[in-house]
Chains A and B, each alone.
Chain A
């Protein structure tokens, strides 16, 4: 998380005067926020540094557009989220999984969530996280972003609206549809498993 004692307004004022040291401080300050967004959107981490770099360069090039109507980290989050969605769109292909595509732990986790009452140990949380990433990868980029922020990271609707610039109604509708799609995926996976 960004350092609480960091003088963000002061730093921004120096950035606007093209103070390179202040620019570097700003990048270092915001890096954890930006990389967290990048990582939560891209399961494959091959290009996370490149993407973070693109986000910061966009941030500097659009600095004159920042009006101060939303907190600066939220404004940067919007740039990060939009850049990640563009990146996901460019990948185009969304996977369709069969049970055979999951690891043993993920398959067991799928079994556990489909048939509640069976205990899971804390180690399974990592399998659950991997499985969540795979399920989210089947959704379109905006839906993936919304469910990541809403269900996984537990942000409020108002926070997501501020971070993305999307309306609360749109977020609710997309979240509802995306969950329905995931429910269908769970059912299809179970059906495929029973046929295999």
Chain B
């Protein structure tokens, strides 16, 4: 390696000589605040999940009810439309 390629190695070697920072102490009240926030979040998540499950259940009921109404209603066959068209064509073109 030439000098330029070693520049980074030399720079970090010097940088490592910089005095290490003393171990940081958490700011006053930091742990209490973090723990309170974590517990608050934990409490709110099951609530959110409960609402999600309820919404899912409600949506499923709506789908089932819609299907039931659809299936119980009188069926209109596509062939009915064809019959009408056939009849109209016959009236127009057949003697």
Residue interface mask B24-49, A partner, CB < 8 A = 1: 11110011111101110110010000
Interface size on B, residues (CB 8 A): 34
In contact, B31 and A116 (Cβ under 8 angstroms): no
Is B80 in contact with chain A by the CB < 8 A criterion?
no
Residue on A nearest B33 in the bound complex, by CB: A53
Q: With A125-B17, A183-B7, A186-B8 in contact, is A1–B30 under 8 Å at CB?
A: no
In contact, A24 and B24 (Cβ under 8 angstroms): no
List the one stretch of A25-33, A73-81, A164-172 in contact with chain B.
A25-33
Is B6 in contact with chain A by the CB < 8 A criterion?
yes
Is B81 in contact with chain A by the CB < 8 A criterion?
no
Residue interface mask B58-80, A partner, CB < 8 A = 1: 00000000000000000000000
In contact, B35 and A20 (Cβ under 8 angstroms): yes
- Kindly state the separation between the CA atoms of A53 and B40 in the bound complex, as whole angstroms: 14
In contact, B14 and A31 (Cβ under 8 angstroms): no
In contact, B15 and A128 (Cβ under 8 angstroms): yes
In contact, B11 and A132 (Cβ under 8 angstroms): yes
- Kindly state the separation between the CA atoms of A1 and B3 in the bound complex, as whole angstroms: 36
Q: With A61-B41, A183-B4 in contact, is A27–B16 under 8 Å at CB?
A: no
Is A182 in contact with chain B by the CB < 8 A criterion?
yes
- Kindly state the separation between the CA atoms of A28 and B35 in the bound complex, as whole angstroms: 11
- B5: which of A52, A128, A183 is its contact (CB, 8 Å)? A183
In contact, A31 and B5 (Cβ under 8 angstroms): no
In contact, A132 and B34 (Cβ under 8 angstroms): no
**Residues of chain A within 8 A of B33, CB atoms compared:** 53
6 A-B interface contacts by CB (under 8 A): A35-B24, A36-B24, A53-B33, A56-B38, A125-B17, A179-B8
With A23-B31, A60-B38, A132-B11 given, can you name 19 additional A-B contacts, CB distance below 8 Å?
A: A23-B39, A27-B30, A31-B31, A32-B24, A35-B24, A36-B24, A56-B34, A57-B41, A109-B11, A112-B10, A120-B14, A125-B19, A126-B18, A128-B12, A128-B17, A132-B12, A151-B8, A183-B4, A183-B8
Q: Which residues of A contact B (CB under 8 A)?
A: 1, 18, 20, 23-25, 27-28, 31-32, 35-36, 39, 49, 52-53, 56-57, 60-61, 109-110, 112-116, 120, 122, 124-126, 128-129, 131-132, 135, 151-152, 154, 179, 182-183, 186-187, 190
